[in-house]
Amino acid sequence: MVPIETRDGYALSLYRLRGSGAPVLLIPGLSANRFSFGVEPGAKLWDALRASGRDVWIIELRGSRSSRRLPGSRAPVDVATKLAHDLPAAIQAIKQATGVEQVDVIGHSLGGFLACQYAGGPSARDIRRIVSVSSPVDFRAIVGPATRGLAALRGPLRRLGGFGIPKLASLRGPVAHAVVLAQHFRLSATTAALRRAWLTHAVEDLHGSELAQIIEWANSRPERARQSRKIQKIACPVLVIASRGDSIVPPAAARAAFDVMTTADKRWLEVGRRRGARFDYGHAGILVAPAAASDVHDVIVGFLAEQLPAETDVHAIPATARTGKG
């Protein structure tokens, strides 16, 4: 683990799995950590990347249990500060350690949103390629118009440190599994042991200040327009992946981000049984389910490794090019 510090006073954990190849940064989503990229041997995205020779780095953002405020800091935990401080700190640390000028980035859910916002900003040249997995164009898909009435509660929410989600996730019995099944997994694609491991290791708390900002952004047309303009400015190659079984960020929400992008090299992959995948994965299962190793991980590794022709649909590219397999 490589400890890093942000300019606004947060200590973060940047995990490294050394490889001889080019570095790639993995960014987890909301209320998640490095284990959102895999909890079982043989089904971890970072193992697939390292097996391909990549130098793998995983950032755990502020608010996770591995992070802490530095003495005297009053830095908030929200999406804006993750984008403004956490990502730059991680990318600069990787560039310093490896001597490269650009880093490949893989983001899941909020992590993909952050990667795309960064790539549409003033430091866009730091990023060589992006893989966005189950990530929305904005936050309406996650919180929706029903939260408009909660706008008055933004002040109290910002003062709320967290909701105790990791403790709830650690509860034994069917309740936690029922919630997870409904939102993150499909029963047929995972085992009870995998879901329990994910609940125990991958889940972080949701901070009130973060939820307040997400609600505000979801209901602000000017903010949504600003975020959309950033995505529009992305110039690097991008692979956008969505799953037919995802009820948190359904394919239409991820596709909206893809459609906004004007980069000449963008690719779309909708994972599902109709497209040849073994399952219609849930929001978390798309990365941690055992079958995702072949349905998703191989495609990501191939995209980062190959100079593919620009296409609008990954399925139009031969399978040998997509997966990197002969």
312, burial (CB in 10 Å: exposed 0-12, middle 13-18, buried 19+): exposed
What the block records as the tokens of 99 is 């001597």
The H or E element spanning position 69 is strand 68-69
Residue that the structure tokens 């990667």 belong to:
115
pLDDT of residue 110: 96
Q: What is the pLDDT of residue 32?
A: 96
2-5 and 68-69 beta bridge pairing: unpaired
Residue 232 has pLDDT above 50, yes or no: yes
pLDDT of residue 173: 74
Instruction: Please say if the pLDDT value at position 78 is more than 70.
Output: yes
**266-271 and 2-5: which strand pairing?**
unpaired
Average pLDDT over residues 26-35: 96
Query: At how many degrees (to 10) do helices 221-232 and 110-119 cross?
Result: 70
Output the DSSP codes for 208-266: HHHHHHHHHHHT-HHHHHHHHHHHHT--S-EEEEEETT-SSS-HHHHHHHHHH---SSE
pLDDT of residue 312: 41
Q: Which homologous superfamily does the CATH classification assign to the domain defined by 2-141+220-323?
A: Alpha/Beta hydrolase fold, catalytic domain (3.40.50.1820)
DSSP type of residue 206: P
pLDDT for residue 252 is more than 90: yes
The pTM of the full predicted model, rounded to 2 decimals, is 0.90
- How does pLDDT run across 172-186, given as a tens digit for each residue? 777 766 766 778 998
What pLDDT, on a 0 to 100 scale, did the predictor assign at position 150?
61
Q: What is the mean pLDDT of residues 35-56?
A: 95
